[in-house]
Chains A and B, each alone.
Chain A
Amino acid sequence: QQPVQSPQAVILREGEDAVINCSSSKALYSVHWYRQKHGEAPVFLMILLKGGEQKGHDKISASFNEKKQQSSLYLTASQLSYSGTYFCGTSERSNDYKLSFGAGTTVTVRA
């Protein structure tokens, strides 16, 4: 079952912040985040584990709320290079470690 992402799209000006949410109806042990630039393959950003610490990648960070079965990706002081589509993914032992992704959130950062 695919995780659910919101919003579907967001438009920012350089320097602004944004939050992307990812939720699941099933209990999560891990949440994966990837970014895909237009015309390219998705690229790994970070993985968050149940009980683990909040992660960061440059000025992109993420949190994992186990009780809500939800993860949030924070884009802080956005740069033009942050433009792309962000995907959250889940991989659970109970689901044979299938790596399933949400529908994605398209982020456009404008000068």
Chain B
Amino acid sequence: SQQGEEDPQALSIQEGENATMNCSYKTSINNLQWYRQNSGRGLVHLILIRSNEREKHSGRLRVTLDTSKKSSSLLITASRAADTASYFCATVMKTSYDKVIFGPGTSLSVIP
């Protein structure tokens, strides 16, 4: 099974609502990153949280990390139609500093 797995696989919300996506992983990590992918495009880096950090903010994004539960969450507040995309968590294991492992992603649809 995967090092990082997002939950849910798909999420549909109304514009203005908050969207929460979760990521679980299996082995100790160096850091965890979240990326966004719009349809037919490459991935865009959103935020990186280190293993010794618990929460990080960037604009409407809030990321939390719980290393005891080996999980992370990405919260998008006041969602917009333009937030419609797939969101991936990516983990960097402590034993492999140079390899970023991506989960299967959460597909978010924000309905205007």
Do the two chains bind?
A: no
Residues of A in contact with B (beta carbons under 8 Å apart) = none
Residues of B in contact with A (beta carbons under 8 Å apart) = none
